[in-house]
Amino acid sequence: MKKNNIYKSIMWFIALIPSAITAVILPGMPEKVPMHFDINGNADRWGSKYEELIIVITFLAMTLFMHFVITFFEKKGAKAEDDKTKEECATNAKVASIAGILMAVFSGVSYIGILYSTVGMAKTGSETMDLNSNRIICVMMGVMFIVLGNIMTKTRRNALVGFRCSWTQYNDITWKKSNRFGAILMIIAGAITLVLALVMKNPMHAMAVTVSLLALLTVVTLIYAHKVYVDEKAKDKGR
């Protein structure tokens, strides 16, 4: 419990950094800043600088959600009467804590990098984002996928963290096999993302490939999860 409280404190500290930075620089920002970019990093929509607050609030809402997820597992584990459930809840709470910290780091660094670029663009009148910021974001995405893939295998069957659908929830075997398979694909996707971020001239294109990889990863994992589910159901019927 104490360790989870430390994790939550770290998560909130990191999550609040973008809010503090925004509060400091917002008054001095140009009234209009680029708010959306196309695949080549060109600004295709400009908006009020106060729209940045929406992004910050969204990050804080995501952090609050992860806080509730961690707390949910803590409370469930505290109420559990058997050791198996307590262990499962403790494991899931730890995984959710690490995922929450990763999410806060990735969101914070991404936002600060983009904020730096957008403010610079607004002051100079440039229409194109600094691609170095996007390259850093892309590298971080790859690292995050690799780390998440490694911790995903440690999740126990639940409705909040991990690869969740009715097939994976069928029993502990379908959960373990499906999440392990999905984790391996996520690690591979992370490694590919890292390579693309470093070798592709435009990191925005690497991000587009990454999004496609994630969609493919999800579909393939669903197909595998269904196969495992069918096999396990057949075994239960044969008993």
Task: Quick: pLDDT tens for 145-162.
Answer: 999 899 888 888 888 888
Residue spans of beta strands (DSSP E) within the chain: 32-37, 43-48
Most confidently modeled range among 9-13, 74-78, 111-115: 9-13
Q: Does residue 2 register a pLDDT over 80?
A: no
Residue pair 100/61 in contact by the 8 Å Cβ criterion = no
Domain that holds residue 174: 131-239
Calpha distance 73→95 (Å, rounded): 10
Q: What is the pLDDT of residue 14?
A: 94
Are residues 43 and 93 part of one domain? yes
Are residues 124 and 137 part of one domain? no
From 129, 162, 184, the end of a domain falls on 129
3-state secondary structure of 32: strand
Are residues 148 and 111 part of one domain? no
Are residues 93 and 137 part of one domain? no
196 φ, ψ (degrees, to nearest 5)? -65, -40
> Which residue in this structure is represented by tokens 């620089």?
25
Calpha distance 52→183 (Å, rounded): 33
Q: What is the pLDDT of residue 138?
A: 85
For residue 166, which amino acid is it? Answer: S
Calpha distance 128→89 (Å, rounded): 47
From 69, 102, 129, the end of a domain falls on 129
Whether the pTM exceeds 0.85: the reply is no
Q: What is the pLDDT of residue 239?
A: 62
Are residues 120 and 159 part of one domain? no
User: What are the tokens at 175?
Assistant: 């959960």
* pLDDT tens digits for range 68-77: 999 999 998 8
Q: Does residue 133 register a pLDDT over 80?
A: no
Higher pLDDT residue, 193 or 43? 193
Residue pair 68/93 in contact by the 8 Å Cβ criterion = no
Computed over every residue of the chain, the mean pLDDT equals 88
**Total domains, the chain:** 2
Are residues 201 and 232 part of one domain? yes
Q: How confident is the model at residue 22 (pLDDT cuts 50, 70, 90)?
A: very high
Are residues 171 and 64 part of one domain? no
Residue pair 170/232 in contact by the 8 Å Cβ criterion = yes
Q: Return all residues near 227 (Cβ < 8 A) that are at least 6 apart.
A: none
Are residues 113 and 142 part of one domain? no
Residue pair 221/185 in contact by the 8 Å Cβ criterion = yes
Q: How confident is the model at residue 57 (pLDDT cuts 50, 70, 90)?
A: very high
From 99, 129, 159, the end of a domain falls on 129
Half-sphere exposure (CA, 13 Å, Cβ side) for 104?
26
Are residues 7 and 102 part of one domain? yes
3-state secondary structure of 228: helix
Q: Return all residues near 161 (Cβ < 8 A) that are at least 6 apart.
A: 69, 92, 95, 96, 99, 155
Are residues 189 and 117 part of one domain? no
Are residues 218 and 137 part of one domain? yes
Q: Does residue 41 register a pLDDT over 70?
A: yes
Calpha distance 39→60 (Å, rounded): 27
